[in-house]
Amino acid sequence: MLEDRKKKVLQAIVEEYINTAEPVSSSSLTNNYDLNYSSATIRNEMADLEKAGYIEKTHTSSGRIPSEKGYRYYVDELLKDDNISVEEIKYISEKLETKVNEIEELTKITTTTISEITHYTTLAIGPSTENLLIEEIKFVLLGPRMLMAIILTNTGMVKETIIKFEEDISEKQVETINYMFNQKLRGQPLDIIDGPLEEYLINEMKYSVKVIKPIIQQIKKVISEDRQLYLEGANKSFELPEFNSLSVAKNFVNIIDEKELMTDILNSGFAKDINVYIGDENEKKELKDFSIITFKHKVGNKDLGTIGIIGPKRMDYSKVISVMKYINKKLKDKGI
């Protein structure tokens, strides 16, 4: 456990470094941050904090920067999570009050809003389809050889897909299909279609394999599809001094370009509402120089997907977390 003054010094170093991106010297803290001591005193505290692993030097005679342990301590113990202005609250409220008919729209709006307020690159994926139950499937004939399947889930999610056939199908056939699919699939988990049911359906309804097979295939495809990925404000990261390093910039572009990686990141570990991964804490080694903050956003108990912010380890954790908390709260009330 750190003494009070050490905490203050650490907090000052972290916040100063987040603001300036320059190693923090002892003299820059005197008479700031409520620290009315000489630089020598601060220096002594810094030496202790360094020994304890909370801060580091970039070279023998440099100022200090927070270590990952330092950031972690700051996030867990020192950070204020109400770092959000009246204007920001107003802006967010307005954005989130937009009327939307589809979940995806809300995800997009939220992602953009977060990126605008925090000035960090923001990513999002749509809600997981795992554990969803099929409430109903509707089939609509769009043409003699074109059918649309619309799947409604228990959470109100709607997925639709177009199926094309080699031969004409009749309204009559569609009715039968409608009946049989709903008979079998209602209340079942979404991915049941990709199991033994497939064979069953094909056998049961063999009167027209040519019709059934494309339907099953297409439904399988649409439910196993990658979830939609959103990315906002990639260029915002490039304004940060960290991105003057070519290797950092390149690394970053590689990360955000790798959709699988991003999906993995957004899907991993959700111990809490808001999850912070600092540098090496990230599961993916590509992210060792970055920090990620993720949260699942929900309306009521409807999962809307996961939003993540990626930035340098020198990220404004306080601002980001404050914004996320506010959005979480705001979404809880919203109807959809």
Partner DNA sequence: TTTAGCACTCTTTGTTTCAGATTGCTAATT
Partner DNA sequence: AATTAGCAATCTGAAACAAAGAGTGCTAAA
Q: In what order do the strands lie in the sheet with 121-125?
A: 229-232, 121-125, 302-312, 290-299, 274-278
**Do residues 137 and 187 touch, judged by C-beta distance below 8 A?**
no
248-256, 266-274, 280-288, 316-324 -> range binding a second copy (CB under 8 A): 248-256
Using the minimum distance from each CB to DNA, give the nearer residue, 43 or 296. Answer: 43
Q: What minimum distance in Å lies between the beta carbon of 40 and DNA?
A: 4
The only residue of 2, 109, 152, 192 in contact with a second copy, by rule CB under 8 A: 152
Using the minimum distance from each CB to DNA, give the nearer residue, 8 or 119. Answer: 8
**Do residues 8 and 34 touch, judged by C-beta distance below 8 A?**
yes
The only residue of 19, 31, 32, 47 in contact with DNA, by rule CB under 7 A: 47
**Rg, C-alpha atoms of the chain:** 26
Looking at this protein, which amino acid is placed at residue 24?
A: V
* Residue 174 engages a second copy in binding (rule: CB under 8 A): no
Using the minimum distance from each CB to DNA, give the nearer residue, 60 or 235. Answer: 60
* Residue 64 engages DNA in binding (rule: CB under 7 A): yes
- What lies within 8 Å, CB to CB, of 37 at 6+ separation is 30
Residues 19-38 that bind DNA (CB under 7 A): 22-28, 36-38
Q: What minimum distance in Å lies between the beta carbon of 12 and DNA?
A: 12
Cα 302 → chain centroid: 16
**Do residues 133 and 153 touch, judged by C-beta distance below 8 A?**
yes
- Name beta bridge partners: 229: 125
The only residue of 158, 199, 264, 300 in contact with a second copy, by rule CB under 8 A: 158
> Could you give the CA distance from residue 160 to residue 136 in angstroms, rounded to a whole number?
12
* Residue 62 engages a second copy in binding (rule: CB under 8 A): no
249 interacts with, out of a second copy, DNA, none, CB within 5 to 8 A per kind: a second copy
> Could you give the CA distance from residue 167 to residue 80 in angstroms, rounded to a whole number?
64
The only residue of 143, 144, 187, 269 in contact with a second copy, by rule CB under 8 A: 143
**Do residues 87 and 329 touch, judged by C-beta distance below 8 A?**
no
* Residue 246 engages a second copy in binding (rule: CB under 8 A): yes
Tell me the number of residues near a second copy by CB under 8 A: 30
* Residue 254 engages a second copy in binding (rule: CB under 8 A): yes
> Could you give the CA distance from residue 207 to residue 59 in angstroms, rounded to a whole number?
78
Question: Which residues make up the interface to a second copy (CB under 8 A)?
Answer: 101-102, 138, 140, 142-143, 148, 150, 152, 158, 160-164, 218, 233-235, 238, 243-244, 246, 249-250, 253-254, 256-258
